[in-house]
Amino acid sequence: MLHVLHLVVALMLTIGHDTKGSATTDATVAKAIESFQPFWKPPVHALDGVTVVIDPIGGGADSASERTCEDNNVLTAQYLWHFVRKAGGKAVVGRLGDGPADLDQSGSVTPLEFAREPSRTAYLAIQFDRHAKNSTYSFAKADASGSGHNALVDTMIDPNAFDFVTVEQSDSIRGELAKGQTAINQFAAMTPSVCKIVIPCPEKGNRREQRDRAVCRGAAQQLCVGLIRSFANVVKKPESESKRDSLPEGFDRVGSSRARSAARRIWPDGKLPHDKVDWFVEMYKRTALPNSSLCYFDVSAKQNENGYVLEGASNVPKVADGLLFALNEVGVERVQNNVRALPDSKKLDGKPYGVCTAGMVRSYDRPGSSDGMSSRALQTQLLFGEPLFLLDREGDSILALASDGYWGWVPKASVRMMDAAEFHRYCSHPRGAVISDVEFEGMRIPRGASLPLAGKDQGRTQVLLPNGELFPLASSAVRTEQPGEVRAADRVRAALDLLQTPYLFGGRSPLGLDCSGLMTNVCERVNLPIARDAWQQAIAGDLTATSWDRTGMEPGDQVFFMDSSGKIYHTGIAISDHHVLHAAPPGVQIGSLKEGDRLFDARLNRDFFVAKRP
């Protein structure tokens, strides 16, 4: 038997890392968090019934300086698009990239609809110009032949609506904007409210993109304020708050809507017969949970004299709320939610963490012994030394989340259970990959296992065993390089570089990003390709934090958010132990998971699912 060395902290030689680079990144992150200001939120309903066409002039620039100006046109237009929609209006942006106008975000806005309500429409052209000295509004007067009340011209042109603005009438701009051959030019010809704003393009300098985004964001906000002032007299205020607005704070509107839609896919019409409730619950579990390998949801419906009771257990108990919404949608209304939230610390004797002590062990969808393997479905396989988040216990079986986040039942004998302090000490070490099989006390530690590194001794690499002892491995048997730490810092820097970029569904570029597009952009830049969508990205990486324990989350980890329907709908990147950088309307922003923080985001905190390390 190979000699086992006891853990003696005083003799450990830790694996070194680039502390200078880490310190630089930490300072950059701290400055970004301190200086970031949350996006402006326009008043709800302030532009109800108003339609705005936003024309970012240009497309097809043939020089870098001209392209910078055209990019700023697009950035400002996209911010304004979000602000107008948030205020209750409709908006269309004519151009989203380097090419000519294409009306990608037109939605349901058509020229015919635009012409029906002239007093509630505006055409706003945006142009950054490197030759301009001052910001200038040019506007065309309404056609006196009866094109309707020109609210924009009457009240928007106010020097106080935008800093350093020169106001001038230019009856030629309507024709100038309408003469193009693209779809957006149709709108310029038919609206009484035509304006063009020219803004000086910021000078070159350090971090120009960040400064440009700040200028574009401010310009869009001021333009939206001007639009709200302009249409104040024609926007009808709602007589009372809608049912949507009167829902309790924190209510998961989107998740409930997805759950109800899922219900109608399962049972399209009418009320669900009582003898179909069990079948419906099973079908919901099979079809409505896109990440069922990561979300344990063992729930059934039992009938009693008062209706139905949902029983079972889940590591994401709010998914049971989604099932309640689904049952209500198909007419099953008297349902009580008794789903047990996991981890169940009592059943785990206060030790909801563990480490795999078997060389390799398979996990299954149900508890049991090897006798009944044929009736159980294989989930994944655990390897020696793998950290585990424990969820539940039934007899001699333990329900565990593996390092990849997959759940499964394993024999209790293959797990060393730990409390939080011991587990986090075990996980605090850098890890090394076993690259050739190792024999240990009659057991094989397979290549591919990952073990905590505890230093070097006499030319051999020390690894930390699940029982807290040290074990020397030949240096040829374990890879000790730590590229992940460097990549994590690089990912954080790449993410900060995109701060304030406008949100664009489907976007992956510095002109517009969605949440998973942000992560693909960041990871590609550090040579770490990942899948496109958030739910696909959640499958990869090592589990570092859960909804009930975020202690292990570190900068560079990818974080995921799940709603009550069981859908992973959002993702971002941790830049501190509680700050997340993510792309959500109107743009890339920083949110906090810590109550009391000035950037605290209640929705992110509520829907936090897991963090994973690529």
DSSP string of 565-577? Answer: TS-EEEEEEESSS
| SS3 state of residue 105 | coil
Would the pLDDT of 104 be above 80?
Answer: no
Residue 253 — pLDDT band, cuts 50, 70, 90? confident
Q: What Å distances lie between residue 401 and 352, 360, 474, CA to CA?
A: 11, 15, 30
The amino acid that residue 60 corresponds to is G
Torsion of CA 453, 456, 462, 468, to 10 degrees: -80
* Domains of the chain by start residue, with CATH: 51-230 (3.40.630), 253-341 (no CATH), 353-429+431-479 (no CATH), 484-613 (3.90.1720.10)
CA distance 205 to 200: 15
Q: Which of 196-210, 449-463, 568-582 has the lowest average pLDDT?
A: 196-210
Q: Compute how many other C-beta atoms are within 10 angstroms of the C-beta atom of residue 19.
A: 9
Instruction: Give, for 446, the enclosing helix (H) or strand (E).
Output: none
Say what the pLDDT of residue 250 is.
65
Q: Using 50, 70 and 90 to split pLDDT, how confident is the model at 166? A: low
End-to-end CA distance of the chain: 36
449 φ, ψ (degrees, to nearest 5): -70, 155
Can you give the pLDDT at residue 238? 61
- Which single residue is written with the structure tokens 């304030």? 500
Pairing of β 568-574 and β 579-584: antiparallel
What is the Cα–Cα distance from 434 to 444, expressed in whole angstroms? Answer: 11
pLDDT tier for residue 220 given thresholds of 50, 70 and 90: very high
Q: pLDDT > 90: what percent of the chain?
A: 54
Containing 25, the helix (H) or strand (E) segment is: helix 19-35
Determine how many CB atoms are found less than 10 A away from the CB of residue 428: 10
User: Once rounded to an integer, what is the mean pLDDT over residues 410-427?
Assistant: 96
Q: According to the per-residue pLDDT averaged within each range, which of 139-148, 302-311, 585-594 is highest?
A: 585-594
- Give the pair of three-digit tokens for residue 528: 């770490």
- How do residues 196-214 score in pLDDT, each as one tens digit? 888 888 776 555 778 889 9
| Cα–Cα–Cα angle for 561, 563, 564, rounded to 5 degrees | 150
Give the residue with greater pLDDT, 613 vs 179.
613
Reported as a pLDDT band with limits 50, 70 and 90, residue 613 is: very high
pLDDT at residue 359 in the model: 93
Average pLDDT score over residue span 464-485: 84
Alpha helical stretches, state H, 147-276: 151, 173-178, 185-190, 208-230, 253-266
Quote the tokens at residue 220: 């869009």
Does residue 144 carry a pLDDT above 60?
no
Residue 479 is predicted with a pLDDT of 87
Please name which of 98, 52, 53 lies closest in space to residue 75, comparing C-alpha atoms.
98
The answer to which of 69-78, 130-139, 557-566 has the lowest mean pLDDT is: 130-139
Task: Return the pLDDT at 595.
Answer: 96
β-strand partners of 452: 431
Chain position carrying tokens 């550090």: 526
Which amino acid, residue 439? E
Residue scoring higher pLDDT (534 or 184): 534
Residue 542: per-residue pLDDT: 94
pLDDT digits (tens, 9 = 90+) for 308-358: 999 999 999 999 999 999 999 999 989 999 999 999 999 999 999 999 999
pTM of the model: 0.86
Cα separation, 611 vs 614, in Å, equals 10
3-state DSSP helix/strand/coil percent for the chain, to nearest 5?
Answer: 30, 25, 40
Give yes or no for a contact between 579 and 555, defined as CB atoms under 8 angstroms apart: no
Residue 97 confidence (pLDDT) above 80: no
Question: What is the reported pLDDT for 229?
Answer: 82
Confidence of residue 371 (pLDDT cuts 50, 70, 90): low
Cα(568)–Cα(414) distance, integer angstroms: 31
Half-sphere exposure (Cβ direction) of 402: Cα atoms closer than 13 Å: 25
User: Is residue 83 within 8 Å of 586, Cβ to Cβ?
Assistant: yes
Q: Encoding tokens for residue 501?
A: 């970029």
Read off the pLDDT of each residue in 18-47 and give the average, rounded to a whole number: 84
What is the rounded average pLDDT of the residues 270-299?
92
> What is the band of 576 on the pLDDT scale with cuts at 50, 70, 90?
very high
Amino acid, res. 181:
Q
Nearest-angstrom CA–CA distance, 318 and 324: 10
483 is written with which tokens? Answer: 């590229």
Encoded tokens for 428:
């605090």
- DSSP H helices, 196-338, are 208-230, 253-266, 277-287, 319-329
What percent of the chain clears pLDDT 70, i.e. is strictly above it?
79
Tokens representing 57 are 């002039």
Mean pLDDT of the chain: 84
Q: Which residue has the tokens 């957006």?
A: 184
